Amino acid sequence: MSHRIPVGLVGVTGYTGMELARLLARHPGLELVRATSRSEAGKTLGDLYPGLGGFPIADCPVSQPDVDDLAEACALVFLAVPHGTAMDMAAALVAKGVKVVDLSADFRINSAETYAQWYGLEHRHPELLPDAVFGLPEFNAKDIVGAQLVANPGCYPTSAILGLAPALRESLVLTQGIVIDSKSGTTGSGRKPSVGALYCEVADSFRAYNLGRHRHTPEIEQELGRVAGTELTVSFNTHLLPINRGILSTSYCQLADGVGAEDVRRAYTDAYANCPWVRVLPEGKLPEVRHVRGTMFCDIGLVVDPRTGRLIVVSVIDNLCRGASGQALANANLMLEQPLDAGLDLAPLVP
């Protein structure tokens, strides 16, 4: 009998599900005992992912999603399914006493009205929203430890919040006029087929999308507003990169009177002094997505532009690892009293 804690994963055929299977394959304290897919049930993980051949996880059967079965077998379940789908499963699992890390957006927004406005969906379990914890370990670790339901942050919000929080917390920048200009690799749009994600639509090109109306906007405003201690609005704009993984966000904000480059650098190095996954780069260095690929790192470059009085922050993450599955695993580690970095001590794959 295994001494490891049994966990389940709903949505193992999606990109974030695949990434979680990769990370769980090497986890010393958690064992994947249920992996679900409606389309591939009856196979094993080894059938789906030949790259897992030889790892014990390859023998894990793929089953139909069944909340009763998951609750009986698992101490914690990861929901790697589309928003709107996760909320009912999360509610049923929570009611049965199971811990849940939801990778979708269903429990990230505190207000059911705001969720309905941006997602075009009525929230069917608003009663769970007050107790759902926003799962950004650098800021919320204490609450995550005791949570039964963690809302895993969005990929773009992870890069934007880590990139801007120290400046806003110390009031080094104004809360008006913030612009967050983000670019994501194509795995960010998920594995379900769509014309816009076809190779010939993405390769050798670069395009903007959802300008001024991206659904991650309220999540970023909520969390940055909490840090700043006041409501704020941001211009959050997104672009699709012809790469598999990675997000690079360039954020622009107006410096408060009298704030200089040394103040900014000190705020960032102090804020992340005990956060080994956030690397504030030395002056003059700017981050690249390939330096964080397949890892939990968020690399941050800082530029103070005296001519315009702006702070420019460049933050990069891997959308699938830090922006989704790796962060979900970090949250599960906290909820299940595992070392925070268990299964996540990863170095990037370069080139």
Ligand X SMILES: NC(=O)C1=CN([C@@H]2O[C@H](COP(=O)(O)OP(=O)(O)OC[C@H]3O[C@@H](n4cnc5c(N)ncnc54)[C@H](OP(=O)(O)O)[C@@H]3O)[C@@H](O)[C@H]2O)C=CC1
Does residue 188 interact with ligand X2W by CB under 6 A?
yes
Residue 155 falls in the annotated catalytic set: yes
Nearer to ligand X, 173 or 324 (CB): 324
Which two tokens mark 257? Answer: 């009177």
Q: Which residues contact 266 (CB under 8 A, 6 or more apart)?
A: none
* Cβ proximity of 291 and 246 under 8 Å: no
Residues 189-218 that bind ligand X (CB under 6 A): 190-192
Closest CA to 155 of 318, 331, 277: 318
104: contact with ligand X by CB under 6 A: yes
Nearer to ligand X, 14 or 287 (CB): 14
- The verdict on 82 binding ligand X (CB under 6 A) reads yes
Q: Closest by alpha carbon to 279, among 290, 292, 267?
A: 292
Distance of alpha carbon 186 from alpha carbon 189, whole angstroms: 6
Half-sphere exposure of 331 (CA within 13 A, CB side): 34
Task: Tell me whether residue 170 or residue 318 sits nearer to ligand X (CB atom).
Answer: 318
Per-residue string for binding with ligand X2W, 42-81, x by CB under 6 A?
A: ----------------------------------------
Beta strands in the chain (DSSP E): 5-10, 30-36, 62-63, 76-79, 99-102, 133-134, 149-151, 178-184, 207-209, 234-240, 247-254, 278-280, 298-305, 310-317
39 touching ligand X, by CB under 6 A: yes
We find the least distance from the C-beta atom of residue 154 to ligand X, in angstroms, to be 5
> 3-class SS at 280?
strand
From residue 244 to residue 273, the character string flagging contacts with ligand X as x (rule: CB under 6 A) and all else as - is ------------------------------
Q: Is 65 in the site for ligand X (CB under 6 A)?
A: yes
* Segment holding 156, helix H or strand E: helix 155-169
Question: Per-residue string for binding with ligand X2W, 223-262, x by CB under 6 A?
Answer: ---------------x-x----------------------
Q: Which residues bind ligand X (CB under 6 A)?
A: 10-17, 37-40, 65, 80-83, 85, 103-104, 154-155, 187-188, 190-192, 319-320, 323-324
